Amino acid sequence: MLTKKEIRYCLDEIARMFPDAQCELNHRNPFELLIAVVLSAQCTDVLVNKVTKTLFEKYKTPEDYLNVPLEELQQDIRSIGLWRNKSKNIQKLCKMLIEKYDGEVPADRDLLMELPGVGRKTANVVASVAFNIPAIAVDTHVERVSKRLGICRWKDSVLQVEETLMKKVPKEEWGITHHRLIFFGRYHCKAQNPNCLECPLLSLCREGKKRTKGLERSNETK
């Protein structure tokens, strides 16, 4: 496991690599962000943005999503994975927003998590990005990077990864660290073929050391 000083070094290097890291889901307000994050489950941001480009022109308020048959909404998001469940959840959460919050997205993680289709990760993203509430949302990239580097343990659950990051990262950096770890995992420390040999964190990374040792042995046998 990395020491506090080593974690600080990692965060600073990742910040240097991705100084402009930010949410890549296109949105103009908290409601659009909420819909986009719900759609993004097990789906790429690129595909979500492609769908929401037209979706957000047609549907601008919670009422708009309820004023069409479920089948019509399903057709509008059909190119996105899990579109059947997502369309049902979107209509249910829109109904709850109208009934409980006058159509506004609540600026509270616990209240967000009560909405249909909204889990802890989605609530953390919306709270952090839309309302600047300190939070670290743990997606597949954040989890992978945290475990590979040794910030967290391999066996840690998603919630344990979040709790560990909250302990080891200064609270005022939670939001930006979330985005930087995503960028680092999405564009550099990829699930397949991570760029270990050109990584400034290689000397500290337990996973990177294993992978590069293997590459060195294969090069020696050529």
pTM: 0.91
Consecutive sets of 10 residues in the chain, 222 residues long: mean pLDDT of each? 95 97 97 97 94 98 98 97 96 98 97 96 97 96 97 96 97 96 97 94 93 64 45
From 121, 156, 209, 222, the catalytic residue? 121
From 76, 86, 139, 168, the catalytic residue? 139
- Residue 102 is among the residues annotated as catalytic for this protein: no
- Residue 53 is among the residues annotated as catalytic for this protein: no
205 marked ligand binding residue: yes
CA 106 from centre of chain: 19
Is the separation of the CB atoms in 35 and 97 below 8 Å? no
Strand residue runs (E) in the chain:
none
152 marked ligand binding residue: no
43 marked ligand binding residue: no
**Domains (ranges, CATH) in the chain?**
24-130 (1.10.340.30)
